[in-house]
């Protein structure tokens, strides 16, 4: 991949890496169950894995769920910096949720206008992705990847220890500084 004069490629996940899904889930949980969750209530799992909240996962199918997610702190600035030396692709497992497709495309274009539509991939399995680096919160995506995988910390992956972990976008920046 890196043998030509092209830049090395970073495949960057969206949900829980550049898009803050938990922020929205916490608000929906608070409205649905009339209870504000604290970090210790959900840390270590997904919010819909909390007792009695399994139906909360259904909101992922709703039109608009992915349209207004907050942007993860520093992700815009760091990705724009990285673009000087790397080619950035957004690679998001979106195919389960029909309604998410156009929402995700538009969200990416709105908040990361410097990443062209040619560099957005909406998929299911990431087994088919070829890149030099992958930043993802799901260990299953990194297991099949044959480049360098970075595990972006999310509530559901805190016990995972097989991959280089990054806890925030400043740590992503630091990782790539050390790659130079």
Residues near its own copies (CB under 8 A) are 6, 9, 11, 89, 91, 95-96, 98-99, 101-102, 105-106, 116-125, 127-131, 146
Question: At 133, is the secondary structure helix, strand, or coil?
Answer: strand
CB of 102 to its own copies, least distance (A): 5
Answer yes or no: 137 catalytic.
no
**What is the distance between the alpha carbons of residues 118 and 115, in angstroms, rounded to a whole number?**
8
The residue (of 42 and 126) whose beta carbon lies closer to its own copies is 126
CA 108 to chain centre: 11
The residue (of 22 and 112) whose beta carbon lies closer to its own copies is 112
CB of 109 to its own copies, least distance (A): 9
CB of 62 to its own copies, least distance (A): 14
The residue (of 27 and 127) whose beta carbon lies closer to its own copies is 127
Cβ atoms of residues 69 and 21 within 8 Å: yes
The residue (of 51 and 96) whose beta carbon lies closer to its own copies is 96
Burial class (CB in 10 A: 0-12, 13-18, 19+), 93: buried
Cβ atoms of residues 11 and 89 within 8 Å: yes
CB of 26 to its own copies, least distance (A): 28
Answer yes or no: 13 catalytic.
yes
Pairing of strands 133-136, 164-166: unpaired
Task: Give 55's DSSP letter.
Answer: G
Secondary structure (DSSP) of 59-96: GGGSTTTTTTPPBPTTHHHHHHHHTTTSEEEEEEE-TT
Residues labelled catalytic:
13, 15
């Amino acid at each position: 991949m890196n043998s030509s004069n092209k830049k090395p490629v970073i495949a960057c996940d969206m949900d829980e890496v550049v898009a803050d899904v938990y922020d929205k889930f916490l608000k929906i949980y608070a409205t649905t169950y009339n209870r504000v969750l604290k970090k210790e209530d959900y840390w270590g799992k997904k919010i819909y894995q909390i007792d009695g909240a399994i139906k909360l996962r259904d909101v992922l199918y709703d039109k608009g769920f992915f349209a207004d997610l907050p942007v993860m702190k520093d992700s815009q600035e760091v990705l724009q910096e990285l673009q000087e030396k790397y080619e950035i692709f957004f690679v998001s497992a979106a195919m389960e949720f029909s309604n998410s497709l156009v929402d995700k495309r538009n969200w990416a274009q709105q908040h990361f206008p410097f990443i062209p539509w040619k560099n957005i991939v909406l998929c299911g399995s990431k087994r088919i992705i070829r890149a030099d680096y992958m930043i993802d919160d799901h260990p299953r995506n990194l297991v099949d990847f044959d480049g360098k995988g970075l595990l972006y910390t999310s509530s559901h992956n805190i016990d995972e220890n097989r991959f280089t972990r990054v806890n925030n976008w400043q740590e992503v920046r630091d990782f790539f500084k050390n790659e130079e």
